[in-house]
Amino acid sequence: MEYRYNLQEPGDFSLSNVYLYSYRQGGGDGPYGIEIKSLISEINIFESISAKAITGNIVLADGYDVVEDLPLTGLERIEFTFSTPSVISNTRYDFTSTRGSPMYIYKIENRKRINQSAQVYVLHFCSKEMYFNEKLRVNQSFSGTTNDIVRQLVKERDFLNSKKKLFIEPSKTLNKYVFPNKRPYEAIQMMADESLSKKYNDSDYLFFENKQGIHFRSYESLIAYNGTRTRMPQESFYVESGSVRGGGGNNPVNAAMRRIRNYEVINQFDTLLHMRGGAFANELITTDFFNKTINTHTYNYFEEFPKHFHLASDKDGGKSDNGHLLPATPSDEFNKGLEQYPSKRFVYSNTDKLHNDFVRPDFKSIIRQREAQKQLVNMIALRVEVAGNTTIDAGDVIYLEIPQVKAEPRGKDLFLSGNYVVRHLRHNISIIGNKHYTTIECTRDSVSTTYPSGLDDNTFIGRERNFESQPSEGIYNIYDLEESENLS
């Protein structure tokens, strides 16, 4: 693990020739294509666990009028390979038609003339599945497991017709879905919102693509392995010099690859936002018109926390009751915590037997936990910039060590340092500068060091104004106030 990069210096990259293929016929049997690597000044590639497909763009300084010669119409295919030289397998973006999955141009932007013989513009590209999603509609019913339906929508010719690897986490859901004029991505997202994992107590299913393939899985499966323990981080990064803190042995390049060049705390807490979203407590009211019943189900953050795997685990990598994002402390003068106030309410029809033998999703288990988790997994978010690194994918677990902001001796920040999930990933390849940088947005659902409890030290004292008399006597009739003002 110490010597995983084959680099001369951080930011080195391997980029093949870059080809643009037109919709029109070339001189041979294939389409007309041109090699444009010498025209490119910058390439950006994006992955995200909240995006359905890989996207990217290239910035061209065009002195050959490719726009007219090809011509560029939004129907072009782009092919190239790109990677950080590494000893780790499956680290290359392969956008070729021979062994990988080519990308497709869908937009030209910011086209500007530099002089009489040159212009610059940005070409945006996306995966084939994203392209197909926009031109297709699902107008039929499906029955069976969520896994089977997702597999049909992703793999079958009438839908996304994908040849990529498909990673599916088994779901408990056995249902009949009717999709009226839905795009494939919309249909799959609808099922993601209603799926419950077989292995985890998790209902926050994600549908996304990274360079390994297409994923339909729960958030908990990203941070836990086989339902038994939390995942080890794919990579570790340090703000201090990599040769001192990040390992790398006697290889300064490998050590520098683990150095955080810049970092920014995007989110750390927003109590009002999280209360409104029901992160710490929420309430679900279900109505069953068939059985004529109404039931209320509540979600309590502290009760649910130990039922799930979190990035902060026990010493054996198992589930833990430590590392809460919310301190155990009262939130008012009545000594009641935020988890005791259901600050968001959902009303849902849970009527059974709508589709004969098919069982509807267990919404009372799904909605409360799903809506809370959407808030909690993004509560702490960091953006870091490191030397270009294609060994990392969206959805991976990484370790970040953030220093304390104080004079020496300076250790690590107890609440920001620890394991994170990669939420967004951007590779920026500067052809002109011959450097590659990776920007990572990552989040965590727990803290490595539990916040101190505050059960005996309540900040809400219920005395917004220090009356000398009893608070109840601090009530005045408006007319009394007006009269006293006149007298004065």
With vertex at residue 201, the alpha carbon angle to CA 198 and CA 204, rounded to the nearest 5 degrees, is: 90
What pLDDT is stored for residue 411 in this prediction? Answer: 85
DSSP notation for 431-476? TTTTEEEEEEEEEESS-SSPPPP-TT--S--S-SS--SS-GGG---
- CA 448 vs. chain centroid, Å, equals 20
Residue 311 φ/ψ, nearest 5 degrees: -60, -30
pLDDT of residue 152: 96
Contacts of range 462-468, beta carbons closer than 8 Å, 24 or more positions apart = 462/332, 462/333
pLDDT value of residue 1: 40
Beta strands 344-349; 281-288: pairing state: parallel
Residue 429 corresponds to which tokens in the numbers above? 């390849």
Q: Which residues contact 448 (CB under 8 A, 6 or more apart)?
A: 312, 323, 414, 415, 417, 418, 419
- The structure's pTM equals 0.89
For the chain, give the number of residues: 488
The correct CATH number of 14-128 out of 3.40.50.880, 2.60.120.10, 2.60.40.1840, 2.40.10.10 is 2.40.10.10
Determine the pLDDT at residue 28: 73
Q: What is the pLDDT along the chain (488 residues), one digit of tens a residue?
A: 445 667 888 999 999 999 999 998 877 778 999 999 999 999 999 999 999 999 999 999 999 999 998 999 999 999 999 999 876 778 899 999 998 999 999 999 999 999 988 999 999 999 999 999 999 999 999 988 899 999 999 999 999 999 999 999 998 877 788 999 999 999 999 999 888 888 887 778 999 999 999 999 999 999 999 889 999 999 999 997 444 454 555 678 888 899 999 999 999 999 999 999 899 999 988 887 777 788 888 999 999 999 999 999 998 899 999 999 999 888 888 888 899 999 888 887 766 655 555 555 667 778 888 888 888 999 999 999 999 999 999 999 999 999 988 767 778 999 999 999 999 999 999 999 999 999 999 999 999 988 887 766 677 766 666 555 555 556 666 666 556 656 55
Distance CA 461, CA 254 (A): 54
Q: What is the pLDDT of residue 352?
A: 60
Q: Which amino acid is at 52?
A: K
409 cis-preceded (ω within 30 degrees of 0): yes
| pLDDT of 474 | 61
* Domain boundaries defined on the chain: 14-128
Q: Are strands 380-387 and 235-238 parallel, antiparallel or unpaired?
A: unpaired
Long-range contacts of 25-28 (CB under 8 A, 24+ apart): none
The predicted structure's pLDDT at residue 477: 67
